[in-house]
Structure 1
């Protein structure tokens, strides 16, 4: 499935960004309101584990998606669990397994392509969050914009995310959408649609 391989590319880009995180930067603020870099990475690792479990056939168990405490090497935690998720998606693509995702709408089951799309957006947007916290998003945005298939997939999935008061209420995954700037690229448009300011600075 092509989307599974696009997701693998997205995870590779996310790993490159997270590999640049130093231990003394974990208390930095991020574009995720109220979340430090440590909290964001704990969320990402927990999501890797939850989606991987779902791809291997786990039922709608919310505990599988809980934030995961980081070890001595947060980048390695991110890299390892990301690789496990990529492998699990590839295995699920062989069987065509649907995934239970208890954090999304009614929990599913969701077709594999839809579930992979959800996490592709998560991977790229949170990679941008990390890059923004570290002070530089230009390279990540340029690489995604330079890959037509990846940028198209990111924007297509983002545009399908409901932007209603219920879906974007406090505590939900995304804030109400912003109006994309004129001439914005696909990555910046996706960020704005998910309620992030592409010009955010710490």
Structure 2
């Protein structure tokens, strides 16, 4: 599984969803408690920027800014999302050694782990955005596999900080996407 390929697909889906937004959609509630679409999308973009900064050495949000949900979209959310994704793609395309350490807002880690985390974040928050604007999202096999691998380590570590809710029970008929988002504390049904 090529980590950049999965990141590109997650980024592409996010841009596709944002192209459908109108200004009233930004005020809709999201599946993330207390956050509307604007704050959810601002956090998603801040996450993309934070991990791009870990690779390109440019400016990125602080941990406090990352989790504040403060508006960074301005009057043209699509341009902001596209700009952050373009920066991220440029930064990640320079990595040739996925074991190379990078320092992110979550600390130092191998580049492969960092790209997995930002991909996971984009997948989960893309799903959150889709739910908020009443669109359907299903992860493909590679996306679901990455999300299950990254989520199994990341989510339990961040639950004590209330960054993820408790896992939502699913049954044997749950799709891979439903299992991924339920583990992240979302109600997939």
TM-score (norm 2): 0.87
Structure 1 pair 95–56 and aligned structure 2 pair: CA distance change class (3 A): farther
2:113 is aligned with 1:114: yes
Q: Cα offset for 1:68? A: 5.3
Distance 1:24 1:175 in 2: 27
Q: Cα offset for 1:94? A: 2.6
RMSD over aligned CA atoms reads 2.4
User: Which of 164, 179, 189 is the matching residue for 1:189?
Assistant: 179
1:79 alignment counterpart: 82
2:52 alignment counterpart: 52
2:149 is aligned with 1:150: no
Structure 1 pair 71–153 and aligned structure 2 pair: CA distance change class (3 A): same
Distance 2:79 2:2 in 1: 27
Task: Determine which structure has the larger strand proportion and give its number.
Answer: 2
**Contact persistence 2:51–2:88 (CA under 8 A):** yes
**Contact persistence 2:47–2:121 (CA under 8 A):** no
2:36 alignment counterpart: 36
User: Where does structure 2 lack aligned partners over 5 or more consecutive residues?
Assistant: none
Distance 1:50 1:29 in 2: 24
Q: Cα offset for 1:37? A: 0.6
Please, which moves more after superposition, 68-77 or 78-87? Answer: 68-77
Q: Cα offset for 1:149? A: 2.0
2:135 alignment counterpart: 136
Q: Cα offset for 1:40? A: 0.9
Structure 1 pair 50–161 and aligned structure 2 pair: CA distance change class (3 A): closer
The SS at the match of 1:100 is strand
User: Which of 85, 96, 103 is the matching residue for 1:94?
Assistant: 96
Q: Cα offset for 1:60? A: 9.8
1:168 alignment counterpart: 159
Q: Cα offset for 1:59? A: 9.8
Alignment coverage as a number of residue pairs: 185
2:72 is aligned with 1:69: yes
